[in-house]
Amino acid sequence: MINETMYGYGASKSSIREIAAYGAARKAQIGAENVFDFSLGNPSVPAPAEVAASLKASAELPPAQVHGYTPANGLPACREAVAASLSRRFSAEMGERPVADADDLYITCGAAASLTITLHAVTNPGDEVIVIAPYFPEYRVWIETCGCTCVEVMADASTFQIDADAVAAAVTERTAAVIIDSPNNPVGTVYTRETLEKLAAALERRGQETGHPIYLISDEPYREITYGAEVPWVPAIYERTIVCYSYSKSLSLPGERIGWVLVPPTNPEHDRLVPTVAGAGRTLGFVCAPAIFQRVLIDCVDVPSDVDAYARNREALTRGLAEAGYEYIEPAGAFYLWVKALELDASAFFERAKAHELLPVPSDSFGCPGWVRVGYCVSYETIVNSMPAWQALAAEYK
Amino acid sequence: MINETMYGYGASKSSIREIAAYGAARKAQIGAENVFDFSLGNPSVPAPAEVAASLKASAELPPAQVHGYTPANGLPACREAVAASLSRRFSAEMGERPVADADDLYITCGAAASLTITLHAVTNPGDEVIVIAPYFPEYRVWIETCGCTCVEVMADASTFQIDADAVAAAVTERTAAVIIDSPNNPVGTVYTRETLEKLAAALERRGQETGHPIYLISDEPYREITYGAEVPWVPAIYERTIVCYSYSKSLSLPGERIGWVLVPPTNPEHDRLVPTVAGAGRTLGFVCAPAIFQRVLIDCVDVPSDVDAYARNREALTRGLAEAGYEYIEPAGAFYLWVKALELDASAFFERAKAHELLPVPSDSFGCPGWVRVGYCVSYETIVNSMPAWQALAAEYK
C-alpha cells in the first residue's frame, strides 16, 4: 500500500513553493514585470566568478579524477579546506579549544540534508524537538519524519530574539534537541551573544534537571548574509551544539545542494556523534555530496558573499514600506523582511496583497499569526516597482 | 540521546567500502601496481567528453540561470529529455501504451536516493520487502530504515536468474514490494524476458491471493552496461513497476549523484504514486537533484555508454580465471564477475586472496555463501597483472 504520510507530504506542497508556482503562472499571464513575487529564498545575487572558474577547471581534468565516488563524508581536501576556514574565523571565540578538524565534518547535499541527517542522528521516535516560532516550515516535516513531535516556542513578541525562559518551560524529559537559525528565516533577526548565552544556560539547567542532555542544532545557511551584526559561533557558547551549513545563500548555489554538518570536537558526545551522522546519511540515501561542488568548496570556501545587493534592496524596501505606513522588524541578516499584516488574519491579508500582484508569504506558514515574510532576494527594480502596489494595499486598510 | 540504530549503521561501514579503504592503505604501503583492488563499482571508463562540454557551457551561462533551485522533481527540460529518450527506446515494447511523460519522472541525487525515496513511498512500517539474493547490501539498510523486514529469496543456484516460485512462496500479506536489479550487481546476470514474465505472473497471482498488490522496484543503474543481452523494459511486463535509475555507471558520474525515479503512466496507482514519491523525497531532505547535472542530462541523455573497455576487461578476466581453474557465472551485463570461492567459506577464501594482494568482495556481504565478486571496472593492466596472483591462489588449493 502507498505510504499515506508520504502522499500527504507530496500532495500538500510547501506553501512557499505553492505561492512561487502561482507567481510563475501569473507572470506568464500578465507579464513578469507586473508581478511582485517575494516568496522564494532563491538568491538574486549570482554565484561568484570563482565558482565558474572552478567548474571549468574541473571540467578540464581527467573525468575519472573528478566525477568518481568520494568518501561518504566528503573529499579529505574539501573537509580540510572547510575546517581550516572555520578555524581561522572562529578560533578567537573558542579560546584554547579547537574549532573543527577535517574529520569532524560531513559534507552534505545542502541544508535540508544537513538537517535531516542531524535530526536522525540525535533523536529517537517519540522524542520532542523544539523550534523557535516563527520558523522555517520544513523543520516540522523533518522532525515528524523522525517520529518526533515538533514543539513550537514563540520568540519574544517584540524583538523576535529567543525567549530562553519559554524554551526552558517547554523542555520535558522527551526533549532531544532545539533547532535555531541565525540569521533567522523568516524574520531576519540575528541572535545576540546575550540571547545565546541565556539559551545555553537554560538548556544546561533543564538538561540536568531532566537527566537528558539537550542538543542544539544551529542551522546557519544565512551566516554570511548580515548587515553589520555579529553572528556568534554557537559551539563556543553551548557545548552540545551541532552546526548545519549550506552554501546555497553564501555562494548562491541553492540548486547544487552542497553544505555540511559539523560535530565540533568540543561536543562531549563527539566520538559517537561523528559515526552516527555518517550512519544517518547512509540510511537516508546520501552516498556523497556532488563531487564537483566539493571541489568548488576547495577553491571557493573563503570567497566573500556579495551582500551589497541585498543591503541595497533592504534599504529600499524598508524605506518604502515605512513611508507607506507598514510596521516591520528591522532585519539584521538574511534577506527577508518580516512585515506586520494590516489585519489579524495574515492569510486574508495575503489574499488582498495578491490582488495587487504582491506575493509575500503569510506568517501562518511559519507557525506565527499576523505577519508576512517579504523575501528581498529579488531584483532592485522589483522592489522599487512594487511600491505603488504596497501603497495601494495600505490605502485599502485606512 | 544519540540514535543507536544510526550509530550502528555509521560504525559498521559497508564491507565493500571497508575493503576499498584497506586497498587504498595497502597501495600506499607497497605501491599501487602491487595491489589488485576489485572491490568498488567506481567506473574505470571516464565520463564522455559531452559531459565536460555541458559543464563548461553551463559555467558560461549567467550563474542565476544555472545554480538556482529547480522544481523538486527536476527541471522540466530535463524531465522532458529523459521521458523522450525512454519513449524512443521502449515504446515498441510497450505497444500502444505510453512509456513516460515528463511529469512521471522525479529526478534524484543518484540511485541510492531513487531507492530510499521509492521504498519510503510504497512501504509502511511492519511491511516486508523481498530481495533476490545475492543482492546489493545497502538494500537491507534502506529497507530496515523504513521499518520493514528484508526478506531474502535466493536466485536459482545455477543460473542466478530469479526463482519465481521461491518468490511466490515468500510473499505474505505483509509483502509490499520486490526489488530486482538487472543487469545484476553482484552477479552480472541479465534477467531474461521469460524470467521477468514468470516473476510478473507470480506477483500478480500472489497479490490477488493476499489481497495486497505488490510493487516491483526495478533498480537499473547497469541497464546500459551489457555485452549483447537484451534488457527487457520491466513496466511492459508488470504493471505495478517503479523504475529507479542512475547515471553513475552509464555516464560514469557516480560522485555527482544524478538519477531518477519513474512512475510509469501505466502503473494503476500512478496518480497517487507521483505525489507520494515527491513527498518521500521531501521528507528525506532531497530538495532537488544537483542543477548543473540536470543540465548535463539535457545534453547527454542519449550519449552511448562506452562498454568496450569493460568488454575487453571481461574477456581478459574470464579467460585468465578459466585457465587458472576458477568457476564463474558468465556475466551478461554490469562489470562484475561472480567467481566461486575455492573453499566453502568465502570470507576465509577472501583472506587467502588478500595475502596475494587480490581484493574481491566475499559473497557473504551479498547474502549468499561461497562466492566472491570481482569488479572489473578497473584498468586492463590491473586485470592482466593480477593473473599470476590468481594462479598462485588457485595453486594453494590444489
| % pLDDT > 70, chain A | 100
**What is the spatial distance between Cα A252 and Cα A43, in angstroms, rounded to a whole number?**
6
The grid coordinates of residue A344 equal: 489579524
Say if domain A4-47+306-396 classifies as CATH 3.90.1150.10.
yes
**Which DSSP symbol is given to B70?**
P
Instruction: Decide if A6 and B109 are in contact by the 8 Å CB cutoff.
Output: no
Q: Give B288's contacts in chain A (Cβ within 8 Å).
A: 255, 257
Give residue B14's pLDDT: 79
Q: Give A17's contacts in chain B (Cβ within 8 Å).
A: 72
Helix (H) or strand (E) holding B180: strand B175-181
B25 interfacial to chain A (CB closer than 8 Å): no
Kindly state the average pLDDT of the residues A25-47. 95
- A345-376: per-residue pLDDT in tens? 999 999 999 999 999 999 998 999 999 999 99
Give residue B65's pLDDT: 87
B46 interfacial to chain A (CB closer than 8 Å): yes
β-strand A36-37 against A358-359: which pairing, if any?
parallel
Instruction: Decide if A257 and B117 are in contact by the 8 Å CB cutoff.
Output: no
Site from A70, A123, A127, A287 to mutate, B interface, most B CB atoms within 10 angstroms: A287
Alpha helices in A123-266 (DSSP H): 138-145, 164-170, 193-210
Confidence check: pLDDT of A15 > 90: no
> What is the average pLDDT score of chain A?
96
Kindly report the CATH class assigned to A52-300. alpha beta
Kindly state the average pLDDT of the residues A57-84. 95
Instruction: Decide if B8 and A67 are in contact by the 8 Å CB cutoff.
Output: no
Give residue A14's pLDDT: 79
Kindly state the average pLDDT of the residues A274-298. 97
Give residue A96's pLDDT: 87
Q: Strands, DSSP E only, in B257-370?
A: 259-262, 328-329, 336-340, 358-359, 361-362
Give residue B67's pLDDT: 96
Give residue A171's pLDDT: 98
Give residue A17's pLDDT: 85
**What is the spatial distance between Cα A200 and Cα A286, in angstroms, rounded to a whole number?**
31
Cβ partners under 8 Å of residue B358, min gap 6:
B36, B38, B386, B389, B390, B393
Contact B289, B108 (CB under 8 A): yes
What is the maximum alpha-carbon separation in chain B? 66
Helix B76-94 and helix B291-300: axis angle, to 10°? Answer: 40
Show pLDDT as tens, one digit a residue, over chain B (398 residues): 899 999 999 998 778 889 999 999 999 999 999 999 999 888 999 999 999 999 999 999 998 889 999 999 999 999 999 999 999 999 999 998 999 999 999 999 999 999 999 999 999 999 999 999 999 999 999 999 999 999 999 999 999 999 999 999 999 999 999 999 999 999 999 999 999 999 999 999 999 999 999 999 999 999 999 999 999 999 999 999 999 999 999 999 999 999 999 999 999 999 999 999 999 999 999 999 999 999 999 999 999 999 999 999 999 999 999 999 999 999 999 999 999 999 999 999 999 999 999 999 999 989 999 999 999 999 999 999 999 999 999 999 98
Give residue B96's pLDDT: 87
Q: Give A59's contacts in chain B (Cβ within 8 Å).
A: 52, 55-56, 59
Q: What is the ipTM of this complex?
A: 0.96
Is the fold of A4-47+306-396 the same as that of A52-300?
no
Cβ partners under 8 Å of residue B259, min gap 6:
B107, B108, B109, B110, B111, B113, B114, B221, B244, B245, B246, B247, B248, B289
Nearest-CA distance B255 → chain A (Å): 4
Q: Where are the domains of chain B?
A: 4-47+306-396, 52-300
